[in-house]
A and B are shown apart, each in its own frame.
Chain A
Amino acid sequence: MDSTTFFANLAAPGFDQLFVTLKALLVSAFPEVIQPLVSIVLSISAIIAVFGLLFAITTVVERKGLGRIQNRPGPNRVGLPWFHVGPLSHLNGFGQWLADGIKTLIKEDIVPRSADKVIHFLAPLSLVVPVLLAFSVLPFGRNMTPIELDAGLLFFFAVGAGTELSVFMAGWSSRNKYSLLGAMRALAQMLSYEIPLILSALTAVMLVGTLSLNDIVVAQEAKPGQWLANWHVFTPWGFAGFILFLIAATAESNRSPFDIPEGESEIIAGYYIEYSGFKFAIFFLGEYFGLFAMSGLAITLFLGGWTAPIAFLSFIPSWMWFFGKLFALIALFIWLRGTLPRVRMDQLMNFAWKFMLPLALINLVNVAVWHYTGGGMVSWVVCTLIIGIPYLLLGRTLFAGQKLGPRTYRYAS
């Protein structure tokens, strides 16, 4: 059929009056008495269905359209300029980091009028410098420790202590009650979780007998004749220590589920509310550097650092092992953030002081028992019981004390 007849058909009374006919048909199927009622219900439901769907579709079309109009392709599509060739023309969004970096660099830096200018300026710097220093003692590979220190672990924690001060400086100098609240929350959290963090790290120190991070890694390497490496995570105390360390490290680096210092739904963004542009980017950078450093330390202490898990795999370069493990841990942290909801302040504190701290202390005893029983079959059983029974008892008791039930609202009904 040619186009004239096609449009003529469309305009025909049958097609034009399609919905009218349909409604008449439906209405006539009902008894005479309720026919007016059915007619009304049909009209109303048509209106609700059509405009409801129209709304749903508009939300999508508007967002896509605005993105196109304002030249925001989105983090799944951004490509790099001059790379628009071949099947990977958009690089699947991996051009986004460059756009973000340029954006934060050239953005206006806004400092509140009542802010303490000097401290406001110094805070992001005093966060990122200590964290960078912490990298200098991590063994990235065989003979690849930037500075080999006799007290490397102590150095790591000492420079980490400086970050707490910078969080306070940021929160206080902004002269904003939300940022001060965020800083106070962050300080309380970091001080509380630093104790289980250090105690769980000490287990490896106790067994190896040195604070030098490189020596701790070497002690975990497979001895000649062994096929499995002596990673600390392969022992009961090491496994418990690794989990404790990982939880405390998540809290130390203010990541979800322990991100209440930022809590965007309650205190907007915590201590860096009043930071914009490049200073904000430095805070962001500092937090991620902190996460990498903590992951690096966890790898060094418990996951064998740059050593291979199985002896015959040691032909793979040592730095590849380190960075492979680092990527795996970063993926784990992203996974945790995507899975777990944020905890409440009191839950956070209770967890640190009533659960993490006792377990970390018991784990210290556990290492001593492991050391003196020789690491055989007997010490496996004994050490698993030493950490497992308190874990179960403490967990059960604290969970029972939670009085979990339907949520009650005090200020809203």
Chain B
Amino acid sequence: MDAIFAIIAALTVVSAAGAMFLRNLVHCALCLAVTFGGLALLYLKLGAQFVGFAQVLVYVGAVAILILFAILLTRSGQDDGHNLLSNKWWLGAGVAGAVFVTLAMCVQGSFVTGNRIPAAADPSVKAIGTALMSNYVLPLEVIALLLTAALIGAVIIAQKEKETGK
């Protein structure tokens, strides 16, 4: 574990903890944006330029902004004094634990811990583009269709309703 990885990991973990424990919702959202950035740095550290930059572009540039908009449009970011932990915190902890165990079992069973390390895939943008347009073209089109449907749905929801006059 080298120093750069330690710094990035610490930044990511601390900001993720901040996103959970800070009382002001806007602070939480900004911490989450830092977490997204930290993850992007981890991808870059692994040599995956495309994934790293796409992570920043999508998560910091769009998802974080979306979360902030949602917070500002629904309620004020002020602390309303109630307990930070919900009464049913044990339920959430149970789900999180189950997810962790599942993931840990997957990782333990995979090639990462064994000796069968496959040849590193070419992480260049060109290789990713070729793969997306040949092997994975069907999933890509399905996602495109889904996003288009979501976009049209958003427009329909945002439209003024003409029939129901005031």
Residues of chain A at the chain B interface (Cβ within 8 Å): 119, 149-151, 154-155, 157-162, 164-165, 168-169, 172, 184, 187, 191, 194, 209-211
B31 smallest CB distance to A (angstroms)? 11
Shortest CB–CB separation between residue B51 and chain A, in angstroms?
A: 10
The answer, among A119, A149, A151, A162, for a CB contact under 8 Å with B61, is: A162
Contact A165 B49 (CB under 8 A): no
**Which B13-50 residues have a C-beta within 8 angstroms of A?**
26-27, 30, 33, 37, 40, 49-50
Interface residues of B in 53-73 (CB under 8 A from A): 53-54, 56-57, 60-62, 64-65, 68-69, 72
Pull 12 A–B residue pairs with CB atoms less than 8 Å apart, ordered by A: A154-B57, A158-B40, A158-B54, A158-B56, A158-B60, A161-B56, A162-B56, A165-B64, A168-B65, A172-B26, A172-B72, A211-B125
CA–CA, A158 and B124, complex, Å: 17
In the complex, chain A residues whose CB is within 8 Å of the CB of B65: 164-165, 168, 187, 191
| B33 A151 Cβ-Cβ under 8 A | no
Q: Is B126 an interface residue (CB 8 A)?
A: yes
- Indicate if the CB atoms of A162 and B60 lie closer than 8 Å: yes
- Establish whether residues B57 and A150, one from each chain, have CB atoms under 8 Å apart when the complex forms: no
Contacts of A184 in B (CB 8 A): 72
Are B53 and A151 touching (Cβ within 8 A)? yes
- Nearest-CB residue, chain B, relative to A211: B125
**A195 vs B70: C-alpha distance when bound (angstroms):** 21
Q: If A150-B125, A151-B49, A210-B126 touch, does A165 touch B54 (CB 8 Å cutoff)?
A: no
The verdict on A165 contacting B124 (CB below 8 Å), with A154-B50, A155-B53, A191-B62 known, is: no
Q: Which residues of B contact A159 (CB under 8 A)?
A: 56
Interface SS, A side: helix
Among B49, B54, B77, find the residue whose CB has the most chain A CB atoms closer than 10 A: B49
Where chain B touches its partner, the secondary structure class is: helix
- Within 8 Å by CB of A154, from B33, B62, B125, lies B125
A315 to chain B, nearest CB (A): 34
Which of B30, B62, B72 is in CB contact (< 8 Å) with A161?
B62
Inside 8 A of B40's CB, which chain A residues have their CB? 158
A149 to B48, CA, bound (A): 12
| Distance in Å: Cβ of A58 to nearest Cβ of chain B | 50
Q: Nearest B residue to A157 by beta-carbon distance?
A: B57
Bound complex: CA A165 to CA B72 (Å) = 14
A158–B50 touching, CB < 8 Å? no
Q: Contacts of B68 on A, CB cut-off 8 Å?
A: 168, 172
Q: Cα distance A158–B72 when bound, in Å? A: 24
Give the residues in chain A near B57, CB-CB below 8 Å.
154, 157-158, 161
**How many angstroms from the CA of A261 to the CA of B95 in the assembled complex?**
44
Tell me the bound Cα distance from A159 to B40 in angstroms: 11
Asked whether A158 and B125 contact (CB < 8 A) given A151-B50, A165-B33, A168-B68, the answer is: no
CB <8 Å contact, B54 and A161: no
User: How many angstroms between the C-alpha atoms of A187 and B68 in the bound complex?
Assistant: 11
Q: How far is the CB of B39 from chain A (nearest CB, A)?
A: 13
Can you list the 4 inter-chain pairs with the closest CB atoms, starting with the nearest?
A: A161-B61, A158-B56, A158-B53, A154-B53
- Contact call B60/A161, Cβ cutoff below 8 A: yes
- The minimal Cβ–Cβ distance linking B110 to chain A, given in whole angstroms, is 28
Flag if B61 contacts A158 (CB, 8 Å). yes
Nearest B residue (CB) for A184: B72
Q: Which residues of B contact A210 (CB under 8 A)?
A: 125-126
Closest beta carbon of chain A to B157's beta carbon, Å: 16
Q: How far is the CB of B126 from the nearest CB of chain A, in Å? A: 7
Additional 6 contacts, C-beta under 8 A, given A168-B65, A187-B65, A210-B126: A151-B125, A158-B40, A161-B61, A162-B60, A165-B65, A191-B62
Residues of B within 8 A of A119 (CB): 27, 30
Closest Cβ–Cβ distance, residue B18 to chain A (whole Å) = 12
- Residue of chain B at shortest CB distance from A180: B72
**In the bound complex, do residue B60 and residue A150 qualify as a contact, i.e. CB atoms below 8 Å apart?**
no
A169 nearest in chain B by CB position = B30
Minimum CB–CB distance for A122 against chain B, Å: 9
Chain A residue nearest to B73 (CB atoms) is A184
When distances are taken between beta carbons in the complex, the residues of chain B under 8 Å from A172 are: 26, 68, 72, 77
Minimum C-beta distance from B63 to chain A (A): 10
* Residue in A149, A157, A165, A172 whose Cβ sees the most chain B Cβ within 10 Å: A165
Chain A residues lying within 8 Å of B61, measured Cβ to Cβ, are 158, 160-162, 164-165, 194
Q: How far in angstroms is the closest Cβ of chain A from B156? A: 15
Chain B residue, CB-CB nearest to A168: B68
A157–B54 Cα distance when bound, in Å, is 9
The answer for the CA separation of A397 and B40 in the assembled complex, in Å, is: 44
Task: State the CA gap A211–B62 with chains docked (Å).
Answer: 21
Q: Which of A158, A160, A162, A187 has the most CB of B within 10 A?
A: A158
- Contact A149 B49, CB 8 Å, known A157-B57, A158-B57: yes
A6 to nearest B CB, angstroms?
A: 78
Residues of B within 8 A of A164 (CB): 61, 65
In whole angstroms, what is the CA distance A161 to B60 when docked? Answer: 7
